[in-house]
Amino acid sequence: MKLFNNLRIKMFTVVLLVNVLAMVLLSLVFYQQMISYYDREYAQSAYERVYISGRSIDDGFQQVYTVIMDTAYSNDLSLLLSKDDDESLKQVAVLLRQARERNSLLDSVYCYIPEKRLLIRSSTFEEIQVLSADEGVTWEILINRQKGTSPFFTKDIFKVEAEPIYLYSTAIGPDKERPVAYITGTIKERTLYLTYLEAISRKNENAVLLLDKDNSIMSSSRNPDEFDSDEICELLASSGQVRRDIRIGRENYYGSWCNLPFSQYSFCLLVDQRSLGNNVLGMELLYILLAVLVLILSGEFLYMSVARLNRPIERLAATMRQVGEGRLELRSAVEGNDEIGYLARSFNHMLDRMDKLIDNLANERALKRESELKALQYQIKPHFLYNTLNSIRFAAMMQGSKSVGDILASLISLLQASTNRNGVFTSVRNEVQVLKSYIEVQEFRLMDVFTVEFHISAEAEECVVPRLILQPLVENCILHGPSQERTFVHINIDAYLDKERLCLEVWDDGQGIPSDRLIGISDAAAAPVHGGMSGIGVANIQERLRLYYGDSGNLSFESDGSSYTLARIVLPISYDAEEYKLK
């Protein structure tokens, strides 16, 4: 199914399916139309063949009829018959031969004179014959059965083979009840068949039938016994001249027929439906082959077209994927001005805007942190300078002593440290040095209120810490540690390494912090001032630790609420002043 995640395959599959569906539908419609057209055209074509052949047969019969009539009613024959001598009879035979020569269908022409039972033939063999009484009766019965313009179908009684013949006969003389003579012409069934029927029945699958008005088969390309007379009668009784479902024996036939108005016969052509089926099957196979070929070619064309159309989309998708993996500097190629081109341009524009937004955001964050730190640092300075300057002012008023110079030296050192702009980080050693200056200043201010001991390990001295990180804690010890009961406070400042951490501790044995306040002191920003602890200083330290170290640095307090307070800062060990500097 992964294959179908590809847009090109989807597009190709959809278009191909639509194409196939359209082709199938069109094929079905065209196939139906083709079969219908083929059937209709075949029906008309078959009928035309039958009609033309049938008219030829009828034409042949009429020509024979006309020859017989012309001969019978010719003045010459009338004259010869009136003479009643042998020579005249011979001349009659000549006339009969001349009549026979007028039409190739005619096999024999006879003149029968009933009064003398005399039969005159067109043939040169026994051209004049006196029939026996029985022969005369038989012949007379035979020739009298021909009625109208329809030939009488019988067997030639004067030939040994008794071939089937078509017979035309007419009586001549003023009295039709007692005619002077009969003129008769015969057509061999085989002659008629070979002249007209053979051509149309040349294919084995065809059957042609010539039927009289009683629907008896006169001539056929097959054994007449093969045909079911009921089926034939049903065919000829149908109003149309074409039927498609005639069953003869085990086979289905396609039948077409026409009336022959002169002979009153019917002419019928039967075509084995299997032969038509073979033709249709051939067309079907050709059609399927063409359809498959067209499908393959159109599929190839579609695939190439879809691939070409899809190429910009694939490029855009690849670029998007790489951008999603972090390569924001990439841009998609733009091809054309269509929807895909518009999409690529929009995507590139979006990336450009994202770049600007990210840069702006980073700058804003850096500026914000910087300003926050500066604000934190400046929060300390005014407060400290205010107090210090007040002390100097009082000392100068009251003593005018040399010690004022020392204090001022320490104060200057402290001011330098607090206003130092050469980085926000400094070594523990420097921080301790600054702290000592601060302590000296405070000792000058407060006089014998506290004492400070430093326990700085050699490993810890080289570590770097944020500048003035301990000063607020020491200030808290000095300002808030002493109480009415305990006026002198011992302060211990420790720095050491514990595993991978740098620990900075400020301990005092002052009044401690009540437990209820100890909890709140961790959130000094929320509670800026509370008993025994400067909220501003603690909050300042905590915020600076969060900004520089995140979760890696923290400030905690420990106190029994009455005799000591321990503030502990834990930091990652760092010897590089730039390592945690805000970028």
SS3 265: strand
How far apart are CB 309 and another protein at their closest, in Å?
53
How far apart are CB 177 and another protein at their closest, in Å?
14
Q: Round to whole Å and give the CA distance between 533 and 441.
A: 20
How far apart are CB 21 and another protein at their closest, in Å?
37
How far apart are CB 34 and another protein at their closest, in Å?
19
How far apart are CB 72 and another protein at their closest, in Å?
7
**Residue 489 dihedral angles phi and psi, to the nearest 5°:** -120, 135
CB-wise, 66 or 574, nearer to another protein? 66
How far apart are CB 94 and another protein at their closest, in Å?
18
Label the pairing between strands 181-188 and 128-130: unpaired
Q: In what order do the strands lie in the sheet with 489-498?
A: 450-456, 489-498, 501-508, 565-572, 554-559
Strand partners, 108: 186
530 neighbors 516 (Cβ within 8 angstroms)? no
How far apart are CB 60 and another protein at their closest, in Å?
8
How far apart are CB 225 and another protein at their closest, in Å?
28
Angle between helices 86-101 and 7-72 (to 10 degrees): 170
CB-wise, 268 or 380, nearer to another protein? 268
Q: Round to whole Å and give the CA distance between 24 and 294.
A: 12
Residue 21: how many other CB atoms lie within 10 Å: 10
Site residues (vs another protein, CB under 8 A): 43-44, 47-48, 51-52, 55-56, 58-63, 65-66, 69-70, 72-75, 147-150, 170, 172, 213, 239-242, 256, 258-264
How far apart are CB 336 and another protein at their closest, in Å?
59
How far apart are CB 267 and another protein at their closest, in Å?
12
How far apart are CB 48 and another protein at their closest, in Å?
5
Q: Round to whole Å and give the CA distance between 343 and 345.
A: 5
CB-wise, 100 or 467, nearer to another protein? 100
CA separation (Å) from 571 to 69, 277, 526, 549, 575?
Answer: 144, 98, 23, 8, 12
CB-wise, 39 or 494, nearer to another protein? 39
CB-wise, 170 or 437, nearer to another protein? 170
CB-wise, 264 or 387, nearer to another protein? 264
**DSSP structure string for 382-437:** HHHHHHHHHHHHHHHHHT--THHHHHHHHHHHHHHHHH--S-SEEEHHHHHHHHHH
183 neighbors 113 (Cβ within 8 angstroms)? no
Handedness of CA 399, 401, 403, 406 (dihedral sign): positive
Q: In what order do the strands lie in the sheet with 265-272?
A: 217-220, 206-211, 265-272, 251-260, 242-248
CB-wise, 39 or 372, nearer to another protein? 39
Tokens of 514: 């009540």
Which residue in 140, 301, 150 sits closest to 216, CA to CA? 150
How far apart are CB 291 and another protein at their closest, in Å?
32
CB-wise, 148 or 249, nearer to another protein? 148
Collect contacts of 528-535 with beta carbons under 8 A, ≥24 apart.
531/480, 532/476, 532/480, 532/481, 532/565, 533/476, 533/480, 534/472, 534/475, 534/476, 534/479, 534/480
Q: Round to whole Å and give the CA distance between 20 and 2.
A: 23
CB-wise, 171 or 479, nearer to another protein? 171
Check residue 150 and report its DSSP letter.
B
**Alpha carbon distance, N-terminus to C-terminus of the chain:** 48
Q: Round to whole Å and give the CA distance between 437 and 431.
A: 10
How far apart are CB 289 and another protein at their closest, in Å?
32
CB-wise, 114 or 512, nearer to another protein? 114
Place of tokens 């300003």: 371
CB-wise, 178 or 501, nearer to another protein? 178
CB-wise, 252 or 259, nearer to another protein? 259
CB-wise, 253 or 262, nearer to another protein? 262
Name 441's Cβ contacts closer than 8 Å, sequence gap at least 6: 388, 391, 407, 410, 411, 414
